[in-house]
Structure formats: structure tokens, C-alpha cells
Amino acid sequence: MATTAGRSLKIGMLPADGIGREVLPAARAAILALGSSIPKPEFIDLAAGFEHFTRTGTALPDETVSVLQQECDCAMFGAVSSPSRKVTGYSSPIVALRKKMDLYANIRPVTSVSLHQLSDCNSTAPISMPQVAADPTAKPDVDLVVIRENTECLYVKQENQVNTEHGKEARATRLITERASRRIGEMAFKTALARPRKHVTIIHKSNVLSITDGLFRETVRAVPSLPGVNGKYDEVAIAEQLVDSAVYRLFREPNIYDVMVAPNLYGDILSDAAAALVGSLGLVPSINAGDSFVMGEPVHGSAPDIAGQDIANPLAAIRSAALMLRHLGYGDGANRIEKAVDAVIREGKVLTPDLGGKSKTSEVTNEVIKRI
Ligand code: ATP
Ligand code: MG
């Protein structure tokens, strides 16, 4: 998917709501700081979000989708506010974008701050632990990736309700297909192969949902023996776990996990739980990936409680930009950004308040840029 030399890299920028507008410029600055090690970035600002909906009646303009589809190589999404009550005519633009761009995988690496520090063992500087590492609730030894199927499961949103003689009855359809399970399985094996531990855990609940989760589990398990794979995944170990016990073990002994692959709803819950293990939401990046497009997105929401104060942590958005670049084949650029972020965390001097610091979003961003 890497763009050929000489071409520019067209990046759609969708800051959307709240702190999305404060952290996306940080991601942009980090990409720009890479200079000539990636094709010249060309940023295209695009409208989306709840605030856009309240002004115009649409949360995801057709124009945004067509520019993404026809002009952009990739995109960065900020964050979208979710209204606390149902608002007529509104539906989440991020959910719609995943569907329209066929971004079938949500990939979320979750790594302890202390492991980031250890991984940079070339550094001879004394390690001063930032406050986040001293957070007694943050686990020190988490280094995993949650790969969540992004297009089906209960998210097909086919619900209905009827009145019966005993009162209301509501149902939801849960869709699991072989096609979607196979491609998310392939993404999981590909991801595991590129990691040191090379281990995939399939998350399901097939003791209860033997047909739907049974299909997911069997299809992912069968990926290494698909025609054309030719032993490529022989080195990857496969385990499986019921989702309830996976949550329990994630909290008790998170270091047993490397790549976790799950249907949409379990993946949603697991990826937030995993993020909670390492401290601030302001640190955790993600990408939404398909076969021909990738969109970086920090895991946090629009954080209305801190929006507009220039104190949002920009590191999750900056790391999301790095993940996006790596997915496109620009691993060197991604490494430079990630090392710069790790150095800023390690030094612990210029950090936003969520990590115990006193610095502004813009100051943290400048600190990262200096190191890139
Ligand atoms: P939304 O409806 O948009 O998800 P939310 O109220 O759930 O909004 P989140 O963005 O999910 O807010 O954030 C949850 C908590 O974590 C908030 O207290 C928020 O301030 C904090 N938080 C989230 N992202 C960041 C960040 N980048 N920097 C600092 N704090 C953050
Ligand atoms: Mg939220």
C-alpha cells in the first residue's frame, strides 16, 4: 500500500468534536516533522462530527466520504461527542465511516509506559519514572494488541420490539460471517507474525453461542491452513479463550496476551478494559484498517470536561499517526515518532495534567517534534 516515491501522501483530517480539534493538529505536526523520510504529506481538512450535525443536520457529509474515497491515501480522525440522549436523525460518523470505507479491523496496541521505557534500552539517560508509571493501578507488564472486528456482530443494529401479553419483548440480530471472520483472522495472524511473541488468542463465547461464535472461532483457527498461506503462519501459536475468562485474566495476568482477536462487541469491551490497564486514555492509539484504506484514531473520546483548555494529552493522537504510517509501509517514520513520544514520557518533564504534569497540549507537542 506504500505510496510510490515522488507522489504526495494525501491525508484526510477529520478533527470532529471537542479535544479532537486540539489533538489532531499535534498528529499533523508530528507527521510534518518527519520531513523527507515519507512522501510529502498533503493534508485535506474534512467536516464530520456532532457539532457539524447540530449546525447542518448531517454528521458525515457526502463530500467528506467522496474526498476520502477518491483523493486520500489515509486519514486521521479526532473524536466524536456522543449525545447522552437519542437525537433524532443523528448517528455516529465514525461508525458510518468504518462501514463506508470498509475499515473492517480496529487495531489497538496497549503497552505499559514502563515497557516503552525498557524497549528504548539504547538510551543511557537515567530513567526517571513519570507519575503515570507510579500510578498504582497501572500494570507494568502489558504489551498486547486487541484486534476487533469492526463491521458486524450486534453492530448491524437490527433491533425490534413487540408487545406481548407479558409486556414488551426486544430482540437484536447478531451477524457473524465467514468472510468477515476470515479477514479479521488474517489481520490477526499478520500482526502476530510481525511481533516478537507471535501469539494469537481467539476470544469467543462458543459454549453459549455455538453457531455464531462457533463460526468465528473455527474460521479464525483455519486461517493458517487457507490455500495460499503456505506455512507462513507456522511460527504463530494459537490459543483461545472464553470472553469472560479473558477479561478476568486480562486483569490478573495481562502479560500472557500478545494478539487478541475478537468479534465486534467483545473486542469493544476488551479494548477499553486493556486501555484501562496502562493508565491514561490520552496515551492509547488505534487504527481502523481495511484492505485499501487506513484511518488513525486516538482511543479517547471528545472529553468535553477538558475541551478548549489546551490541556488534552496529544500523545494518543500522535501515536495513532505513527500506527497509520506503519500500516502504510512507512515503518521508519513510525519508529521515529514512537521513539520521540517514548522519550518525552521517559523524561517526565513535559507532560499534560492527566499524566501528573503541568504542561499544555502545545508544549507536549513541541517537545515531541523537537525529538523527531
Ligand atoms: P465522549 O462522549 O466523547 O466519549 P467522554 O465524557 O466519555 O466523552 P472521554 O473522551 O471518553 O470522555 O474521556 C473520559 C475521561 O478521560 C475524561 O475525564 C477525559 O477528560 C479523560 N481524557 C480522555 N482523553 C484524554 C486526553 N487526550 N487527555 C487527557 N485526558 C483525557
Ligand atoms: Mg467516552
User: 326-367, pLDDT tens digit by residue?
Assistant: 999 999 999 999 999 999 988 989 999 998 899 999 999 999
Tell me: pLDDT of 1 over 60: no
Average pLDDT value over all residues in the chain = 91
Q: What's the whole-number mean pLDDT along residues 49-74? A: 96
Q: Is the CB of 354 under 6 A from ligand 1?
A: yes
Distance, in Å, from the CA atom of 19 to the CA atom of 365, rounded to the nearest integer, reads 14
Residues contacting residue 187 through CB under 8 Å, at least 6 positions apart: 104, 105, 107, 147, 261, 289
Residues contacting residue 115 through CB under 8 Å, at least 6 positions apart: 140, 141, 142, 143
Distance, in Å, from the CA atom of 156 to the CA atom of 139, rounded to the nearest integer, reads 34
Cα of 122 to ligand 2 centre, how many Å?
37
Longest dimension (CA), the chain: 73
Count of beta carbons in the 10 Å neighbourhood of residue 172: 11
Q: What are the distances in angstroms from CA 94 to CA 48, 180, 276?
A: 9, 19, 22
Q: Which of 125, 41, 31, 107 is nearest to 344 (CA)?
A: 125
Amino acid 176 reads I
Q: Which of 112, 146, 151 is nearest to 271 (CA)?
A: 146
Q: What's the whole-number mean pLDDT along residues 179-187? A: 97
Q: Is the CB of 81 under 6 A from ligand 1?
A: yes
Q: Tell me, what DSSP letter sits at residue 306? A: T
Ligand 1 atom at minimal distance to the Cα of residue 317? 27
Specify the 3-state DSSP secondary structure of 204: strand
Q: Residue 315 has which C-alpha cell?
A: 500523545
Active site residues: 155, 205, 244, 268, 272
Mean pLDDT is highest, among 62-76, 130-144, 149-163, 264-278, for: 62-76
Tell me: pLDDT of 2 over 50: no
- In this prediction, residue 86 has a pLDDT band, given cuts at 50, 70 and 90, of confident
Identify whether the C-beta of residue 117 lies closer than 8 Å to the C-beta of residue 127.
yes
Distance, in Å, from the CA atom of 130 to the CA atom of 138, rounded to the nearest integer, reads 12
Q: Output 320 or 115, whichever has higher pLDDT.
A: 320
- Prediction pTM value: 0.88
Q: Is the CB of 300 under 6 A from ligand 1?
A: yes
ipTM: 0.95
Q: Residue 125 has which C-alpha cell?
A: 539517560
Q: For residue 11, what are the β-bridge partners?
A: 43, 74
Q: What's the whole-number mean pLDDT along residues 267-275? A: 90
Distance, in Å, from the CA atom of 129 to the CA atom of 135, rounded to the nearest integer, reads 10
Task: Output the pLDDT for position 131.
Answer: 42
Q: What's the whole-number mean pLDDT along residues 136-150? A: 87
Q: Which of 96, 130, 125 is nearest to 113 (CA)?
A: 130
Residue nearest to atom 4 of ligand 1 (CA): 301
Residues in the chain: 372
Q: Is the CB of 309 under 6 A from ligand 1?
A: no
- In this prediction, residue 115 has a pLDDT band, given cuts at 50, 70 and 90, of low
Tell me: pLDDT of 161 over 70: yes
Q: What's the whole-number mean pLDDT along residues 116-135? A: 42
